[in-house]
Copies of this chain bind each other. A is one copy, B any other.
Amino acid sequence: MKKLRAGIIGASGYAGEELVRLLSRHPEVELTCATSRTYAGQSLGSVFPRYRECEVKFMEPVASEIAARADIVFSATPNGVCSAMAAELLDAGLKIIDISADFRIHDQAVWEKYYKMEHKAPQLLAEAVYGLPEVYGEQIRKARLVANPGCYPTSILLPGTVLLRAGLVESTGIEAICLSGVTGAGRKVDLQYIFPECNESIRPYGVTGHRHLPEIEQELALAAGVPAVTMNFIPHLIPVNRGIHSTVLFFAKDGVTADTALDALHAAYDDKPFVRVLGKGELADTKHVTMTNMCEIGVAYDARTNRVIVSSVIDNIEKGAAGQAVQNLNLMAGFEETAGLL
């Protein structure tokens, strides 16, 4: 059987590296091209020593060259790059899974405000599907262009959209306090990310106006059926390699407790391969999901403050980026949702 030919645009970061790992063991997909301006001409195996056997060579990011080699492309580039190439790639018949943020926000003005640049393909915004398979599985199956969610949003939205859709919690007064491992910052060579500056350090950053905020608010509002959600999203940098823990506080509607919330989550996810709802009284721990595409969700309820407290974990590179991208590919290509991911 002929395999699906996949390419990666901007493959030299941690999400790119993980895509190489996932695709190399995917039974139905062949990695046929990868681009990187920095490493053009070198083999992927020489840049990512874990995957020394990978003989695919990095090439310059030229749309026509990619189109000649791939049926579907992942874009793991900086923001603004995928949108500049997307139309040409789609016209050439490729499908796109964009791991950058170019197509996540439906409202062009909001996107431009948070990302501080002009959008290069606003005509495609209406077509792009937000690639959270547990929410938009049907649309993803039919999509040409999927916007892979951010890592923080994935950890917040998997529990949050269920609770809001089920009408169990208020759409006001939501707060998400999130803790991320350092790969979340990308493979960035910067003083603040060298080992001695991160190790034995705990610090928040971007506590107002983080770029992931509008995408979280957009999807929570859609789930709640309200025009807008306005919330706090407060990320912190934690000295682990991988893993995001999100603590999300919601105000419970009348009579809702941990049990009610857990029931709704079980109903939504017990037949889903990549979300596990924990038992009553259990909270999530990143170490149980690192190196997997799983999201684990625990719930507590504080009667004194009437707060539903959600504890949600993912691996930021897997379910938060490359793993979810492959899950989207599986849906778009009609493969088993779990192919290459277990």
Shortest beta-carbon distance, A207 to chain B, in Å?
5
Q: Decide yes or no: A245 and B202 within 8 Å by CB, A191-B187, A193-B195 being known contacts.
A: yes
Of the listed stretches A91-99, A113-121, A156-164, A300-308, chain B binds A300-308
Residues of B within 8 A of A207 (CB): 247, 283, 300, 302, 309, 311
User: By the criterion CB–CB under 8 Å, are A189 and B189 in contact?
Assistant: yes
**A50 to B188 alpha-carbon distance, docked (Å):** 24
User: By the criterion CB–CB under 8 Å, are B200 and A189 in contact?
Assistant: no
- Kindly state whether residue A208 has any CB partner on chain B within 8 Å: yes
- Kindly state whether residue A101 has any CB partner on chain B within 8 Å: no
**A173 to B199 alpha-carbon distance, docked (Å):** 33
Residues of B within 8 A of A190 (CB): 189, 194
A residues with a Cβ closer than 8 A to B are: 14, 25, 49-50, 52, 173, 175, 177, 179, 181-183, 187-191, 193-205, 207-208, 230-232, 234, 236, 238-245, 247, 249, 276, 283-292, 300-302, 304-305, 307, 309, 311, 313, 342
Number of copies: 4
**A25 to B190 alpha-carbon distance, docked (Å):** 31
User: By the criterion CB–CB under 8 Å, are A247 and B287 in contact?
Assistant: no
- The residue in chain B whose Cβ has the minimal distance to the Cβ of A14 is B196
User: By the criterion CB–CB under 8 Å, are B175 and A309 in contact?
Assistant: no
- The residue in chain B whose Cβ has the minimal distance to the Cβ of A289 is B50
Q: Decide yes or no: A238 and B238 within 8 Å by CB, A284-B203, A302-B207 being known contacts.
A: yes
- The residue in chain B whose Cβ has the minimal distance to the Cβ of A303 is B208
Shortest beta-carbon distance, A241 to chain B, in Å?
5
**A259 to B91 alpha-carbon distance, docked (Å):** 52
User: By the criterion CB–CB under 8 Å, are A200 and B309 in contact?
Assistant: no
Q: Decide yes or no: A286 and B189 within 8 Å by CB, A175-B249, A179-B179 being known contacts.
A: no
Pull 17 A–B residue pairs with CB atoms less than 8 Å apart, ordered by A: A49-B288, A177-B247, A179-B179, A182-B194, A182-B195, A183-B196, A187-B191, A195-B241, A199-B199, A200-B200, A200-B241, A201-B285, A201-B286, A202-B245, A204-B283, A204-B311, A207-B311
